[in-house]
Amino acid sequence: MKRRFIPALFLILCLLISMAGCGTAAPAPSETASPSETAATSSSPEASETTASSSPEASPTSVFPLSAEPIKLKFVRLSWPDVRPNAGETWTWKNFAKESNIEIEWEEYPISSYAETLNLKLASNELPDAYYQMIFSNEQLIQQSQMGALIPMDDLIAENAPNITRMFADDPSIKQAVTLPDGKVYSLPYVELDKNSAMLRYYINKSWLDEAGLPVPKTIAELDAALAAFKQKDPNRYPIAMGKDQTHLFHQIFLGAYGIGSRGIQGMSQWIDQGPDGKVRLYPVDPLYKEWLTQMNQWYKAGMFHPEYFTTMDVAKWQNLGTQNQVGLYGWVSPNFIGEEAMKSFTGITQLEGPHGDKSISWIDASVRGIWSFMITNQNKYPKETMKWVDYWYGEEGYMYSAIGQEGVTYQKGASGTYEWMGDVKKSIDEKGQQLGAFQHLERWYGGFEPQNHGMKVSDENQKKLYDLKAMLTPEEAQKTYLIDPNDYMNFLPEAIWPSFIPTAEEATEVGELFTELNTYLLEMETMFIIGKKDLGADWDAYLATVEKMGGKRYLELKQQAYDRIMK
């Protein structure tokens, strides 16, 4: 089954916005990689006037309350302040606090600065009760677990988490992915089995192509010709435009056309892939990466990028450009990120063939897309209740609750038998479009990496609800929604998609320190080379020498060790 909404993110939306990096103003990529219903039903006019902010307080099933006594916990999570308000102000968390008897105080780290904030908090040992949808590096996860800041979950899961226990039993690889080298589970995963929801693709302005009499590009050379035609037709429009926090992810889509990024986003976010010799490769020092940078620099010099592409372009401004039909090319999971009306001008491209015949998807994720979606700290006085709280979201009821809310409150069954949005959710969707409108009130519409299993099967009636409310794609809708054959990705799959490489405790500190310095430098230099502040001829050798001086060779050795350990 295919979901209509962002994966995120993470991304972010997902994104892996924060893991993969998002441009010069964005956070560093994380080393790991790299948005229910009640029993009450009503279709009456009175029910349609009920808003999400003033909803009934009926509990969906007997699992509630999750705590016998009211308790309050402090969770840290990511936020997208330019997209929606604080999580605590949304219907999902206001309502769930009443039903579960567990109130969450949300401390949010904006996606644009989360890495720095998290590092400062960890260094000062300022811990919440739990981390939700909070992206840790593998090294941070190892270090915090070894220090005792994160508590092992194995017994808590066995005693309090039937949904997670069932998920692990149904697919042992999921538990394997979250088991650290010491044999214990300290974190819970974000699972996504639908590959269309776990990859980024290009979206190109089909109306501009038609205007220029050009076909949809299949190669980098054909894209180059299309962008030139776009610019020639109207110098005041923008052949390439993205929000500043999405630029690095957009760049990563191209890499598969250049024979790099060959093992998916969890490798790319660590700046590694598999070279022709079968060994782990640090691809930013490869001549193929230089070749890609050269093409990007040529486009920059030709004025193909919006002038605020690397600096101040936010989502709202970018979407406004889309509304004005001023965007030629962008990249995302699905085209509706640019707006429901603007997307009608676009068509999808899974991957382009590069100058050497390469055309595998680079921005594609493994099924376990993140292993750090939920972690409990040693400050938590209610670990059992907390485990029950998070386990709810791994079950079918929680899956539905986070996506569409509660029947009779956020949606209803209309007279025709079709489910439809109601109240504040409907108003927001009417104003902001399906994805961002729903995200103002409901959790699972943007960013990704929340603690859930998005590959789980649901009942026929629940599937109908998801279909009717456009929270999941029907097979017939998939092509319309992705603006491409939903099976097209099968023609471009890489030979393998790497999972996250988890270091041993002995490796964690060293690889983390190496990555932090390398990542900052590589992100900066990627931008500098593209915009021409560093010359790809005169400055390339100095760049290679700096990477070597920063420990590039040792970093690669540690990654090779981790790869060899995982592949045994």
Nearest to 551, CA basis, from 513, 524, 508, 520 = 513
The CA distance from 417 to 318, in Å, is 38
Cβ(388)–Cβ(161) under 8 Å? yes
Tell me the one-letter amino acid at 212.
A
Read off the DSSP letter of residue 360: -
pLDDT at 448: 79
Sign of CA dihedral 56, 62, 67, 72: negative
Non-local CB neighbours of 394 within 8 Å, separated by 6+ positions: 161, 163, 164, 167, 188, 451, 452, 453
Residue listed under structure tokens 């005169």: 538
What's phi and psi for 148, nearest 5 deg?
90, 5
Terminal alpha carbon distance of the chain: 32
The CA distance from 521 to 90, in Å, is 38
pLDDT at 410 over 70: yes
pLDDT at 495 over 90: yes
> What does the CA dihedral 295, 300, 302, 306 come to, rounded to 10 degrees?
140
Cβ(105)–Cβ(379) under 8 Å? no
Average pLDDT over residues 33-60: 31
Q: How many CA atoms lie within 13 A of 412 on its CB side?
A: 23
How many other C-beta atoms can be found within 10 angstroms of the C-beta atom of residue 355? 15
How many other C-beta atoms can be found within 10 angstroms of the C-beta atom of residue 508? 25
Nearest to 390, CA basis, from 372, 408, 405 = 372
Sign of CA dihedral 471, 475, 476, 482: positive
Sign of CA dihedral 503, 506, 509, 510: negative
Tokens of 420: 């439809």
pLDDT at 54 over 80: no
Non-local CB neighbours of 429 within 8 Å, separated by 6+ positions: 421, 437, 438
Helix/strand/coil for 217:
coil
Helix/strand/coil for 188:
strand
HEC string of 387-428 equals HHHHHHCCCHHHHHHHHHCCECCCEEECCCCCEEECHHHHHH
pLDDT tens digit sequence for 503-515: 888 888 899 899 9
pLDDT at 42 over 60: no
pLDDT at 268 over 90: yes
pLDDT at 365 over 70: yes
pLDDT tens digit sequence for 121-173: 999 989 999 999 998 888 789 889 999 999 999 999 999 999 999 999 998 87
Residue listed under structure tokens 């099976």: 487
- For 193-202, 252-261, 266-275, 321-330, which range has the lowest pLDDT when averaged over its residues? 193-202
Cβ(454)–Cβ(3) under 8 Å? yes
HEC string of 27-64 equals CCCCCCCCCCCCCCCCCCHHHHCCCHHHCCCCCCCCCC
pLDDT tens digit sequence for 518-554: 999 999 999 999 999 999 999 999 999 999 999 999 9
pLDDT at 91 over 60: yes
Most confident of 35-44, 57-66, 462-471: 462-471
Look over the chain and give the mean of its residue pLDDT values, rounded to a whole number: 87
pLDDT at 166: 96
pLDDT at 23 over 90: no
What's phi and psi for 205, nearest 5 deg?
-70, 100
